[in-house]
Amino acid sequence: MHELAFSARVVWALALRSLRGALRRPQFLAPLVIFPSMFLAVNVGGLTRTTALPGFPVVDGFLDFQLAGALTQSLLLGGVATGIATALEIEGGFFDRLVASPIPRTTIVLGRLLATGVTAAGQVTYFLLVGFLFGASVKGGVPGVLVVYLIGIVAGVGFGAIGQAIALRAKSASSVQGIFPLVLVVLFASSAFFPRNLLSSPVDTVAKYNPLSYVADGMRHPIIDGVGATSLLEGVGSALLVVLVAGAIALLALRGRLREA
């Protein structure tokens, strides 16, 4: 019990340090909302009439449909930012100091992921407020908002674990930054920005097996339709799958990094 309490305190301390570092470096946080916001504005401004296409979900406005896509994009960028921050700690020597200190090694990963979860909650809040400001609504009401938060935070932690795993293997911030184009490819090969049933082959097939599709649709359904059991289970399940797989990979990457230290 004492060891568990000690680990919890270490995780909390490392998370607070990560959050303070992010606040001192707005160049890391700003792209998480600025780029998706600009993309959201362009999509809503230029593609509004797509809601009239046969087979497009019934929505009050294209903004309602696009909010989940902007959120997914922002959370993915948050994962990249987590990876860059981890790589900078490795380059700056802070990681080696952590390794030399008498703390459980898993807390090194968990502390950063806790900070990523807090940041993800802020990202969800930002885009919901932007949506409400420009006329969007959440058909699912308060429960729908809570579902969006749940899926968004869990998915954000999973994307952060992916960023950490890459950073622990790549060891340099520039290498982590290089995954940005791949992030966009994976994002656009999903139903984040367009209904899966209206995508052309082979993208529709890729989107069917892309976890991002279910994460985005899980957040979208409460906004445009209401809270449904199927979309809730698929959204939360996909987000948890990303966390479990990416978290395991991050811990394995940490173990490999420790062997090399």
pLDDT in tens, 105-154: 888 889 889 999 999 999 999 999 999 998 888 988 899 999 999 999 99
- Indicate the number of domains in the chain: 1
Backbone angles phi, psi at 59, to 5 degrees: -135, 155
Where residue 171 falls among pLDDT bands split at 50, 70, 90?
low
Q: Which domain holds residue 227?
A: 2-260
Residue-wise pLDDT for 30-56, tens only, equals 888 898 999 899 888 877 788 788 888
Mean pLDDT of 164-187: 81
Residue 17 near residue 108, CB atoms below 8 Å: no
Q: pTM for the complete prediction?
A: 0.92
Does residue 171 come out as left (phi exceeding 0), alpha (psi in the -120 to 50 range) or beta? left
The Cα–Cα gap between 62 and 40 comes to: 10
pLDDT over 80 at 258, yes or no: no
